[in-house]
Amino acid sequence: MRFFSTGGQSPEISFLKAAEQGLAPDGGLYMPTEFPSLPLPFDSPNSEFSLQQLAKICSYPFLDEDLSSDDTDRLIDDAINFEAPLVQLSETLFILELFHGPTLAFKDFGARFMARLFSAHRTRSNGDLVILVATSGDTGGAVAGGFYDLPGVQVCLLYPEGKVSDLQRKQMTTLGKNVTALEISGTFDDCQKLVKQAFSDQKLNNALNLSSANSINIARLLPQSFYYLHAFFQLKKLTNQTPVFSVPSGNFGNLTAGLFAEKMGMPVKKFIAATNRNDVVPQYLSGTDFKPRPSIQTISNAMDVGNPSNFSRIRSLFDGDDERIRKHIFGTAYSDEQTRKKIGDLYQEFGYIADPHTAVGVLALDQYREQSGDDSPAIVLSTAHPSKFADVVEEVIGREVEIPERLKKAKEKEEKSIPMDAGYDSLKEFLTEQYG
């Protein structure tokens, strides 16, 4: 399969090449030239597939130029070594828990898949690949954990000072070895801008093998389609119906991955784009122009994104037809106050402890149901374990949220990060010295 750039000015290349480049030379994002029609029985209510089986079937056509099917199998078995359970709360409300990976973030799917793809190839060529990542919280830990101690790869993380949770920061700053954390005095948008500047700096790219692991990277997106497929077949078996998916969104990689799965043949009744007050996309869906804005800080901080980079992919998937996008995707936004209340309501009603991002997803589903009258079964993607946002959650539900063992470990280790201003010159100098 070949991949083109949404910028329209770069040559078509293979999956691995597109993954290594991250952003295309013309500043666009890579997209498949065509979507395969997956050989799966989407109409059958009796199919049972494991997450790993679906991941393999979905990956073969994408990786056909780069890996044999045996190598693809190995990569999946190694990367996707945890589950994504579908938890039923009521007859029509299902929570897809995506936080059972090693860093308890759904980003483990993308990060682990990409890390293993890169590492498998680097051992055969020279020079370390330098993965440059801007993170508003969860990406950093997942990428750091995914690449940690893999040969041939260096990881450099940029996070906004004071704007990530304690645990999120610890997951980035306590690893060491091939993982370096830069604490930027600025916002997530500043971090993202710095990374974009570095990628478009030709001189720097000639000196270093730079690559990205943000959700702009096609290798992060593809593995997120796997769990949509898995959830689809589970719901099909339980209800024999076509799901509504509500997706708590920031950069819109997760929702784009759902659209990928749909393009490959998976029926979807509706997608819901759920955001916090960073509502650039819901605004657009309600009929206004797409207008990026500076991000606002909220309690669902992994979604504090003012300029969602995957939006150009969504446009490309619909051939730029805004009306069709607005028809297929329902979007709404919520305040911190509404989010807190929803966390409380879910605990009261179902005894379920949701993190703030998941709560935003449920809020949006409620509103969709109210406005559309559609009460068919719906799947809310749960993107983080509540213990990662324990301060917010515990205050609302009035009891302690247990921290899983693997997070406790990060809590005790020593932190190491390098403070830096948000000017590009500082980053450039650092990268040249550290990796040149």
Ligand X SMILES: *Cc1c(COP(=O)(O)O)cnc(C)c1O
Q: Give the shortest CB-309-to-ligand X separation in angstroms.
A: 9
Neighbours of 98 (CB within 10 A): 26
* CA count, 13 A, side-chain hemisphere, 182: 31
In which residue are the tokens 């719901």 written?
A: 235
Cβ neighbours of residue 248 under 8 Å, at least 6 residues apart? 254, 274, 275, 300, 303, 357, 358, 360, 361, 380, 381, 383
If you ran DSSP here, which 8-state letter would residue 161 be given?
A: T
The angle subtended at Cα 283 by Cα 159 and Cα 313, nearest 5°, is 65
63's tokens: 């990786």
C-beta of 338 vs 426, nearer to ligand X:
338
* CA count, 13 A, side-chain hemisphere, 11: 3
How far, in Å, CA of 221 to CA of 224, rounded?
5
- Residues counted in the chain: 436
C-beta of 10 vs 300, nearer to ligand X:
300
Q: Give the shortest CB-47-to-ligand X separation in angstroms.
A: 27
Contact indicator for 382, 342 with CB cutoff of 8 Å: no
Contact indicator for 173, 417 with CB cutoff of 8 Å: yes
Q: Give the shortest CB-428-to-ligand X separation in angstroms.
A: 26
C-beta of 140 vs 152, nearer to ligand X:
140
How far, in Å, CA of 366 to CA of 47, rounded?
29
C-beta of 79 vs 133, nearer to ligand X:
133
C-beta of 173 vs 382, nearer to ligand X:
382
Q: Of the listed 107, 163, 236, 388, which one is catalytic?
A: 107
Q: Applying CB under 6 A, which residues contact ligand X?
A: 105, 107, 137-138, 215, 248-254, 302-303, 357, 383-384
Q: Give the shortest CB-99-to-ligand X separation in angstroms.
A: 8
Q: Is 107 one of the annotated active-site residues of the chain?
A: yes
C-beta of 72 vs 310, nearer to ligand X:
310
Q: Regarding beta strands 270-275 and 244-248, do their DSSP bridges make them parallel or antiparallel, or are they unpaired?
A: parallel
Q: Give the shortest CB-253-to-ligand X separation in angstroms.
A: 3
Q: Give the shortest CB-359-to-ligand X separation in angstroms.
A: 11
- Which residues are identified as catalytic? 107
